[in-house]
Structure 1
Amino acid sequence: MRWFEPLLVILTLVTGLVWALDKWVWKRAPREDSLLDEGHENGLIETARSFFPVLAIVLVLRTFIAEPFRIPSGSMIPSLQIGDFILVNKFAYGLRLPISNTRIVPIGDPKRGDVVVFKYPGMTPDDPQKGEDFVKRVIGLPGDRVGYHMGQLTINGVPVKYQTIRAVPDGDGEGMARPSELRTEDLPGHPHQILVSDDSLALGAQGDQDLVVPQGQYFVMGDNRDNSLDGRFWGTLPEANLRGRAFAVWMHWGHDGINLSRVGHSVP
């Protein structure tokens, strides 16, 4: 919900301004207006005074500490499922201002294998999804040479190794019905599971890529390799678009209702 953060900021500023005026201006002024007499306080002032501390705490927590996000698509299956509610570490990559997402205090940078939430840069300037929150895995760091051909990922000329875990005859169960394989991808420093369609070769050069990741940018991919709109199609991710690092599932509410078995899972 792109509107929630601006609305939270506006409400916090408005209630904070009313609270400050009430505390430092109106209560010190002569009380000629009966609306400001003790015992007959204006309802707006009372509401602002009650809600401002709550709004301020929520704004600080979700801006600088942790923010919840809901997984709306199957692009990160098997690591994340549709309906997972994840917590995102907002200070892992530096403190950022709300709305503008400008980094004001550098703290760290993404590592290969991190699952990151970011503002989608869009395939075109008028892409209707541009600015929405996406979640993918960091594959390429600044300066890396990344290749992806016929399902084989290479980093700096070295092919990444895979190990098949089992067949998944029904695909991802969320729209990709093609028979698939669950594999371990031995990403340097961060092995993890991916889902790959059995007919990846039949897809031809779809998503094939060869690039050098520019400084200040990252190359990201979904773990559901044949059902993910990621860097193979729209290019590299600017550092300025990063929102934070996903680290835990705190709730799951999918098509079949609440699934308590997902609660508390760390994001691999």
Structure 2
Amino acid sequence: MTKLPEFKEEIKQNKTWYREYGEALLVAAILALIIRTFVVQAFKIPSGSMEDTLLIGDHLLVCKFIYGTEIPFTDKVVLPLTDPQRGDVIVFEFPGDLEKPWLERRDFIKRIVGTPGDTVEVRNKRVYVNGEVYDLPQEVHKESSLILPGTRVSPEDRRDFMPKLVVPPGQYFVMGDNRDRSYDSRFWGFVDRDLIKGKAFIKYWSWDGEEHWPRFNRIGRLID
């Protein structure tokens, strides 16, 4: 018996250009969401509290997986590469916004000064951690005057003099490098570990709003 040859019929589906374009946009959007949620996220500096490390108009990238990946819709963090360390520049949700659920949560950026168990104190503008002076090359003081305790009935009393505080477990004490013009843990308390979004690591763009010109010497610089 003669065996008949087998023919394979290939069916080609012609997609319209707008369908292909839409699918490509959908895939790109999903990838961008995954990267933004679990890998890196871009932020822009709106204030001078971290001068001169970070200037108004600096754009930076934040590594979101270094301290672990947060499972969406939960507070659980998995696969941390390291714990937040003293000296790290971090982005976090402002703790004060938790008391105002009707407001949009704001992101702050500061430097970790105290880790869980540390004792932090401020005397005459100088920071002491565990009884030792904690000086950083990045810190600046742009106000020569001292605010003495009790001279003002406001949280500003704690700017230059703050009594000893012990950082609780799972929390961090943060300060801005521009010590005299930073609204930080001296005034509103500690940052819970769960509120930390990641570690800032590079400036990918910088725009001088006064000169209306890019700061080319800052672009691509690592944040230390």
TM-score interval (norm. to shorter):
0.7 to 0.9
Partner of 1:212: 166
Structure 1 pair 127/220, CA: closer, same or farther in 2 (3 Å)?
A: farther
* SS at 1:154 equivalent: strand
What is the aligned-residue identity percentage?
38
User: 1:53 pairs with 3, 17, 27, which one?
Assistant: 27
Partner of 2:139: 194
C-alpha contact (below 8 Å) 1:77/1:195 kept by paired residues: yes
Structure 1 pair 265/40, CA: closer, same or farther in 2 (3 Å)?
A: closer
C-alpha contact (below 8 Å) 1:120/1:130 kept by paired residues: no
Structure 1 pair 231/107, CA: closer, same or farther in 2 (3 Å)?
A: same
C-alpha separation in 1, matches of 2:132 and 2:80: 31
C-alpha separation in 2, matches of 1:198 and 1:125: 31
By how many angstroms is 1:82 displaced?
0.5
Structure with greater helix percent: 1
Structure 1 pair 101/251, CA: closer, same or farther in 2 (3 Å)?
A: farther
1:107 partnered with 2:81: yes
What pairs up with 1:205-244 in 2 under 5 angstroms?
A: 205-207=157-159, 208-244=162-198
C-alpha contact (below 8 Å) 1:209/1:232 kept by paired residues: no
By how many angstroms is 1:157 displaced?
1.6
Partner of 1:78: 52
By how many angstroms is 1:260 displaced?
1.1
Question: TM-score scaled by structure 1?
Answer: 0.67
Q: How many matched pairs?
A: 201
* SS at 2:179 equivalent: coil
Structure 1 pair 243/130, CA: closer, same or farther in 2 (3 Å)?
A: same
Q: What per-residue deviation string (whole Å, max 9, x for no partner) do you get for residues 153-180 of structure 1?
A: 11112233xxxxxxxxxxxxxxxxxxxx
C-alpha separation in 2, matches of 1:88 and 1:131: 18
By how many angstroms is 1:100 displaced?
5.6
Structure 2 unmatched runs, 5+: 1-12, 150-156
By how many angstroms is 1:203 displaced?
5.5
* SS at 1:201 equivalent: coil
Question: TM-score scaled by structure 2?
Answer: 0.79
Deviates further, 213-222 or 255-264: 255-264
User: 2:69 pairs with 81, 87, 95, which one?
Assistant: 95
The structure whose Rg is larger is: 2
